[in-house]
């Protein structure tokens, strides 16, 4: 491309013609900046300023900082070239008397080679990658030429003091440097020659020259080799236009589609928009083009940092004096319900203020995590694998209680087993059955019990390859073992066993199953079946294969021994009044007053729904309410069927109610 300084010159950029108009005259400025605070006032203080179009750029600042090292003062003289407003003539002349577009022949040739129906890939390869997606509509060109002198005043003053007064012509003073700098644009060559001679003869100065942009009326074959040609500032903006406006009409729509695919999809797919949603239809070579892994990884790392901060806030709260003092005031000899804790809470104003501080910090952190999660899901909306995120929740001490085996939530049950004894070694080759029962009908008839977790301490002999396998059945209110339901461990989001290695000479582990408030349920008896399997390396060495002991190749081989030191059930007991429920049942046949029968049915419906809501996960709920009537109220089977029928008939009459089917558990 050729740039010429003439009134009617036409300029080429990319493939288009340009014209330029001088907007301003040359301006001359001399500047000096003092680094030392001891710089005295002088007639040249008006030079202490930084002006020019490029002094705010980071590159120029870095250059000044590097060049200023070791010098106390900087003198700079520069001239800013006139600004040229450049306009593109291709668009202006497009419809002028039907004249052809003033485009480069090579550009025309590439358009003709595309044909009438080019593919998006052909447009990308022949047009976009060669000429881009936009062309310059208008811009401002400019530049500057400057001379900078860095001076060490201390060395300069010592040199002046130690020199012979009779040899004034060889003494370099600040006045001499000012005169040389002022004559730079009048006689550039001789000025630079004298300054370089002074720089070589003395280490007190350093001279640098900067020339940027189209200097004077010079010609440039390639503007890319000239720095700072385009002037970008709030008053000098670059205006771009899509390349499709100078293309034939049959290419315009396809070009826009190819350009969007090139920019938005990185040429890895086709950009598609539908129903206010846009995405990339990935090509066969790039199946994950819609998945920005780097951005997703940054969001995930941000969530990890938020989680660490969340834990740090909790740790600070637990280590605070207010929290420790509140914990000391709690009674340790019995289990506290929510009302008792809230009463003690309201009595401690200092602890409330400390918790409000924690709550405020947690709220801000939670909102930040929510925003990050929304961004993460929007980024990974079209990824093959969706992120699995668990948002932070309010404090819950149940897991801490289980890990520390806190006695306040332990339910004391009776251990029964004919196959083994606690704290005794046994041969695990055959299935072992054990149970923990409360015998509430005999000892605790006024209580029902909730299970929150289960913990076993299992030990193995050294170098044993045995792996315990536990199956748990829950009997809610008593009765036979057939009226128990199987606990679906690690199925349908149900919790799994957690193993914790104990610091003992043997291979001892704590096996803990944490149900929590989400999966808590009624229990009267816990049946545990213990089997063993043998862990062995697979044929590849990287996988594990499990064998049942009876299927092992060498039955005579000693598989080791096992023992269970203790079994604990964690939960709590609630007051239960069977006589109050019997009184409600009597009102079904013998109502006290008009309307009391409906009131009794409504109360029984609420009790039924509350009890059945605590059934285990599954497609259908278990009918725990019938088990409660059968075993805790000692009702006959016919009475239970009659009560259930009455409740179903009454529920069908209620407006906007939907009855649910249940699975029968108790006979």
The pLDDT tens digits of the residues spanning 114-131 come to: 888 888 888 888 888 888
Query: CB of 354 within 8 A of CB of 317?
Result: yes
Of 43-52, 100-109, 441-450, 596-605, give the lowest mean pLDDT range: 43-52
Per-residue pLDDT tens digits for 77-97: 877 766 667 676 666 655 544
Phi/psi of residue 637, nearest 5 degrees: -65, -40
On the 0-12 / 13-18 / 19+ scale of CB atoms within 10 A, 373 is middle
Per-residue pLDDT tens digits for 507-523: 888 898 988 888 899 99
Alpha carbons 267 and 283: distance in angstroms, whole number: 9
pLDDT at residue number 150: 84
Question: Cβ neighbours of residue 226 under 8 Å, at least 6 residues apart?
Answer: 143, 212, 213, 214, 220
Phi/psi of residue 472, nearest 5 degrees: -120, 135
pLDDT at residue number 27: 31
Per-residue pLDDT tens digits for 137-146: 777 777 777 8
Phi/psi of residue 359, nearest 5 degrees: -65, -40
Alpha carbons 128 and 266: distance in angstroms, whole number: 12
Alpha carbons 76 and 73: distance in angstroms, whole number: 10
CATH assignment of 398-575, given 3.40.50, 2.60.120, 3.20.14, 2.60.40? 2.60.120
Looking up tokens 């947690």, which residue turns up? 362
Collapsed DSSP state (helix, strand, coil) of residue 67: helix
Alpha carbons 175 and 237: distance in angstroms, whole number: 41
Choice between 347 and 551, residue whose per-residue pLDDT is larger: 347
On the 0-12 / 13-18 / 19+ scale of CB atoms within 10 A, 457 is buried
Q: Which sequence spans correspond to the domains of the chain?
A: 27-80+143-225, 86-141+233-282, 293-379, 398-575, 578-663
User: Could you tell me which of 296, 266, 283 has the C-alpha nearest to residue 385?
Assistant: 296
Q: How confident is residue 155, by pLDDT bands cut at 50, 70 and 90?
A: confident
Alpha carbons 411 and 451: distance in angstroms, whole number: 8
User: Could you tell me which of 359, 364, 346, 371 has the C-alpha nearest to residue 314?
Assistant: 359
Query: CB of 387 within 8 A of CB of 300?
Result: yes
> Per the structure block, which two tokens stand in for 380?
């990974």
User: Could you tell me which of 73, 80, 85, 89 has the C-alpha nearest to residue 16?
Assistant: 89
Instruction: Give the mean pLDDT of 260-270.
Output: 82
pTM for this one?
Answer: 0.47
Query: CB of 384 within 8 A of CB of 291?
Result: yes
Looking up tokens 């995405």, which residue turns up? 279
> Per the structure block, which two tokens stand in for 193?
């020659």
Per-residue pLDDT tens digits for 608-638: 999 999 988 888 889 999 999 998 888 999 9
Q: How many CB atoms lie within 10 A of CB 152?
A: 18
Q: How many CB atoms lie within 10 A of CB 93?
A: 15
Instruction: Give the mean pLDDT of 455-484.
Output: 87
Inform me whether the pLDDT recorded for 438 exceeds 70. yes
Query: CB of 469 within 8 A of CB of 548?
Result: no
High-pLDDT (> 90) share of the chain, %:
11
């Amino acid at each position: 491309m050729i740039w010429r300084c003439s009134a009617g010159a036409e300029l080429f950029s990319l493939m288009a013609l340009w014209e330029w108009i001088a907007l301003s005259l040359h301006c001359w400025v001399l500047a000096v900046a003092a680094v030392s605070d001891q710089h005295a006032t002088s007639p040249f203080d008006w030079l202490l300023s930084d002006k020019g179009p490029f002094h705010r750029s980071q590159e120029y600042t870095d250059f000044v900082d590097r060049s200023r090292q070791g010098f106390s003062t900087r003198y700079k003289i520069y001239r800013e070239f006139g600004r040229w407003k450049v306009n593109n003539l291709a668009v202006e002349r497009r419809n002028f008397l039907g004249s052809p577009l003033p485009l480069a022949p090579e550009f025309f040739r590439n358009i003709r080679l595309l044909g009438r129906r080019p593919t998006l890939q052909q447009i990308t390869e022949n047009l976009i990658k060669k000429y881009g997606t936009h062309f310059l509509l208008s811009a401002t060109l400019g530049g500057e030429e400057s001379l900078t002198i860095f001076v060490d005043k201390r060395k300069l003053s010592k040199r002046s003091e130690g020199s012979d007064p009779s040899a004034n012509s060889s003494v370099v003073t600040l006045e001499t440097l000012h005169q040389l700098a002022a004559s730079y644009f009048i006689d550039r060559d001789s000025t630079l020659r004298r300054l370089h001679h002074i720089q070589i003869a003395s280490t007190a100065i350093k001279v640098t020259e900067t020339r940027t942009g189209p200097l004077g009326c010079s010609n440039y074959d390639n503007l890319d080799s000239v720095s700072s040609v385009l002037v970008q500032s709030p008053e000098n903006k670059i205006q771009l236009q899509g390349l499709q406006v100078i293309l034939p009409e049959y290419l315009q729509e396809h070009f826009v589609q190819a350009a969007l695919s090139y920019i938005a999809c990185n040429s890895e797919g086709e950009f598609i928009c539908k129903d206010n949603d846009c995405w990339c239809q990935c090509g066969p070579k790039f199946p994950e083009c819609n998945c920005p892994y780097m951005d997703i990884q940054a969001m995930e790392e941000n969530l990890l940092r938020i989680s660490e901060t969340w834990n740090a806030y909790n740790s600070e709260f637990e280590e605070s004096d207010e929290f420790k003092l509140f914990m000391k005031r709690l009674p340790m000899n019995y289990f506290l319900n929510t009302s008792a804790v809230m009463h003690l809470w309201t009595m401690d104003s200092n602890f409330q203020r400390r918790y409000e501080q924690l709550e405020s910090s947690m709220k801000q952190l939670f909102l930040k995590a929510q925003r990050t999660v929304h961004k993460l899901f929007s980024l990974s909306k079209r990824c093959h694998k969706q992120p699995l995120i668990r948002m932070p929740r309010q404090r819950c001490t149940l897991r801490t209680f289980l890990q520390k085996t806190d006695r306040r939530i332990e339910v004391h049950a009776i251990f029964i087993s004919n196959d083994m004894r606690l704290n005794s070694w046994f041969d695990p080759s055959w299935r072992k059955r054990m149970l923990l029962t409360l015998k509430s009908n005999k000892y605790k008839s006024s209580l029902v019990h909730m299970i929150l977790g289960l913990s076993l301490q299992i030990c193995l002999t050294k170098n044993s390859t045995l792996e315990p396998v536990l199956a748990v059945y829950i009997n809610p209110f008593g009765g036979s073992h057939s009226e128990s339901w199987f606990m679906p461990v690690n199925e349908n989001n149900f919790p799994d066993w957690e193993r914790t290695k104990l610091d003992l000479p043997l291979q001892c582990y704590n096996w803990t199953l944490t149900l929590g408030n989400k999966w808590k349920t009624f229990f009267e008896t816990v049946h545990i079946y213990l089997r063993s399997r043998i862990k062995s390396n697979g044929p590849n060495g990287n996988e594990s294969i499990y064998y049942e002991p009876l299927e092992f190749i060498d039955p005579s081989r000693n598989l080791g021994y096992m023992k269970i030191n203790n079994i604990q059930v964690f939960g709590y007991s609630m007051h239960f009044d069977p006589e109050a429920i019997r009184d409600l049942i009597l009102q079904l046949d013998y109502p006290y007053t008009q309307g009391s029968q409906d009131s009794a049915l409504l109360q029984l419906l609420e009790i039924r729904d509350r009890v059945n809501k605590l059934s285990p996960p599954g497609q259908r709920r278990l009918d725990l309410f019938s088990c409660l009537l059968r075993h805790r109220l000692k009702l006959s089977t016919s009475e239970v069927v009659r009560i259930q029928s009455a409740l179903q008939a009454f529920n069908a009459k209620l407006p906007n109610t939907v009855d649910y089917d249940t699975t029968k558990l108790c006979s």
